[in-house]
Amino acid sequence: MIDVLNPADGTLVGQVEHHSEAQVRAAIDRTCAAFPAWSRTLARERSALLRAWFDLVSADKTAFAELMCRENGKCMSEAFGEIDYGLGFVEWYAEEAKRVYGDTIPTHAKDAAVIVTKEPVGPVASITPWNFPFMMITRKVATALAAGCTILLKPAEETPLTAYKLLEYARRAGIPEGVFEMVTGDPVQIGKLITDDPRIRKISFTGSTAVGKLLAAQCAGTLKKMTMELGGNAPFIVFDDADLDEAAKALVSAKLRNSGQVCISPNRVYVQASIHDAFVQRVKALVEAIPVDQGLQDRFVVGPLINRAAIDKVGKLVDDSRERGAKAVLGGHAHAKGGLFYAPTILVDVADDMPIASTEIFGPVFPIYRFSTEAEVIARSNDSEYGLVAYAFTRDLGRSFRLSRNIEAGMVILNSGSVGTASVPFGGVKQSDYGREGSHHGIEEYVHVKYTLMAGLA
């Protein structure tokens, strides 16, 4: 068995099975065996099953939220927010299942017709991380099932209990064995088994860039279709014409979500020199007012990091930045509560050549950089191997368009810190991502295009 521990206090939350190689192979077999029948169900039948799953989970949000709090450390308000976000995908794809349209193309021969249809790619396998234990599951499963694919999912071993609970509710909703399967165990072994199997036609992965690259290499042997949601290094740019109060609020809520353990978390905060001090003061006042605590309570709190490796990494990055000349105007150390709690930290005088500028921090740390001109800050924002999301606050319309056009990212968020909802295409460019999740674009990742020529009609 695998123990699942509460990161807030180290207590045992539950256990899940450590599946053997034979059990993983059997789950792959079931996923593949179920595909032919599932791919031929009517879109409205798949839609009805997704809707039934949505309804059952919706009726039990508190039980899910408490479990997420215990196994992940996030607070209740964030867990409820994630549930609504995650259920949004189930609802959206229950509808989108019915709208996977093909086309007919004007013919190139007088006796022929050209028909283009979209077909499910085949059985899919998916691997998900621990930071969104609910939404990561529903986003991948709902899209796959809507398209007519069957899916085998391996959740993160840190947070598998929410995933198994979602599976249990899916079964109660009538989603059959084989159509949605789950395994847990040794990630390396499971990753190898699913990528080596030629019957699995697609991998959808969210996690670190290193593991994403490894899986992409492993998929080369069987040329699987891939959706990869990997690392980020999001710039958050505040121009001197911005509403500073709104910008500070947006930054703090985007950064402290899940204690900073989010791929779209603002990772480099660029503030125009003339408003630097005024902006830092506002951010500091907001952050100071937020308590650090375990999450099972009504108020918003900054929770623990997921494990010891996470807190060590954040501590090292902050220490290193301070040794190189950055100053902590707040925090700068582990929190007095001990355990896996890190004090929310604001660093100023951070420089582009410090390791923190090119590392995904994954903790409650605000590194603040000064800039002078628009052209300079765009160039500095783009100076990254990642290109997931960029945030900017400005009231200038022309500048907004220039940012949208010139920032190298899959998502540009202007005058807001909020990115995700089921109806938009989530994803990045460069080494952040392949493919998109959410919106009508998301389902395209699970279908292939088939062209049929019907000649001899004359």
Chain residues that interact with ligand ADP, rule: CB under 6 A: 127-129, 154, 156-157, 187-188, 191, 207-208, 211, 214-215
The one-character DSSP state at 334 is: B
Q: Which of 197, 205, 20 is nearest to 122 (CA)?
A: 197
Give the nearest distance from C-beta 158 to ligand ADP in angstroms: 7
User: Nearest Cα to 270, choosing from 413, 397, 428, 378?
Assistant: 378
| Shortest distance, position 206 Cβ to ligand ADP, whole Å | 7
By C-beta, is 127 or 403 nearer to ligand ADP? 127
Element (H, E) at 58: helix 43-58
Nearer to ligand ADP, 193 or 326 (CB): 193
Query: How far apart (Å, rounded) are the C-alpha atoms in residues 76 and 70?
Result: 10
Residue 180 beta carbon to ligand ADP: minimum distance, rounded to whole angstroms: 17
Closer of 3 and 396 to ligand ADP (Cβ): 3
Residue 271 φ then ψ, to 5°: -120, 130
Catalytic residue among 158, 229, 374, 437: 229
Smallest distance from ligand ADP to CB 286, Å:
27
Using CA atoms, how far apart are residues 335 and 340, in angstroms rounded to an integer? Answer: 8
- Contact between 259 and 363 (Cβ < 8 Å): yes
Alpha-carbon span 186 to 171, nearest angstrom = 25
Q: Least distance (Å) from ligand ADP to the CB of residue 426? A: 17
Q: Assign 92 to helix, strand or coil.
A: helix
CB of 217 to ligand ADP, least distance (A): 11
CA 407, CA 391: separation in Å to the nearest integer? 10
Nearer to ligand ADP, 182 or 392 (CB): 182
CA 328 to each of CA 267, 319, 350: distance values in angstroms, whole numbers, following the listed order: 16, 10, 10
Q: Specify the residue, 2 or 33, whose C-beta has the smaller distance to ligand ADP.
A: 2
In 372-446, at which residue ranges do the beta strands (DSSP E only) sit? 386-387, 389-393, 411-414, 429-430, 433-434
Instruction: Report, in Å, the least distance between residue 195 CB and ligand ADP.
Output: 8
Alpha helices by DSSP H, listed for 259-392, are 276-288, 308-323, 374-382
Which residue sits closest to ligand ADP, CB atoms considered?
A: 191
Angle at 349 between CA 347 and CA 354, to 5 degrees: 85
How deeply is 426 buried, as exposed, middle or buried, from its count of CB atoms within 10 A (0-12, 13-18, 19+)? buried
Minimum CB separation from ligand ADP for residue 133, in Å? 11
31 within 8 A of 125, measured Cβ to Cβ: yes
Q: Rounded CA gap, 99 and 93, in Å?
A: 10
**Cβ distance to ligand ADP smaller for residue 194 or 411:** 194
Element (H, E) at 154: strand 151-154
Of the pair 208, 222, the CB lying nearest ligand ADP is at: 208
Interatomic CA distance for residues 378 and 390, integer angstroms = 10
The separation between CA 426 and the C-alpha centre of its own chain, rounded to angstroms, equals 8
Question: Between 83 and 127, whose beta carbon lies closer to ligand ADP?
Answer: 127
Give the C-alpha separation, 3 to 15, whole Å: 5
Min separation Cβ 39 and ligand ADP, Å: 26
Closest CB to ligand ADP among 188 and 285? 188
The string over 152-164, giving b where at least 16 C-beta atoms fall within 10 Å of a residue's C-beta and e elsewhere, is bbbbbbbbbbbbb
First to last CA, the chain: 66
Active site residue 45: no
Residue 65: φ, ψ to 5° = -60, -40
Residues identified as active-site: 229
